Amino acid sequence: MTDKVDELLDKREQTHGPAAETFNVGIRLVNVVVNHARSKEEALIAHDFAILNILHKIARILCGSYNPDHWDDIEGYARLGKKIQENNSD
């Protein structure tokens, strides 16, 4: 008998793809952002976190099946990141 977490993981694999593949793609995308900040000797800031969340969703899109929630989440993170960056650029 599987527990709720096993059932959830099985369900998510259908829309997000295999976890190891998604995580590997995701970390490669995240490393681009982290390495860029390091090259400029800067710390990640709030709007960078929005970018990281967008990259997480992109990894799910690349590795999984169509799920409109991923696209809606990207739009939401983009709006929030834009708002944060605009407010911090004054």
Kindly indicate the confidence band of residue 1, based on its pLDDT and cuts at 50, 70 and 90.
low
The mean pLDDT of the chain is 94
Q: How far apart are CA 42 and CA 85, in angstroms?
A: 15
State the pTM of this model. 0.88
Q: How far apart are CA 72 and CA 20, in angstroms?
A: 24
pLDDT score of 42 more than 60: yes
pLDDT tens by residue, 6-34: 999 999 999 999 999 999 999 999 999 99
DSSP-assigned letters across all residues of 50-69: HHHHHHHHHHHHHHS---HH
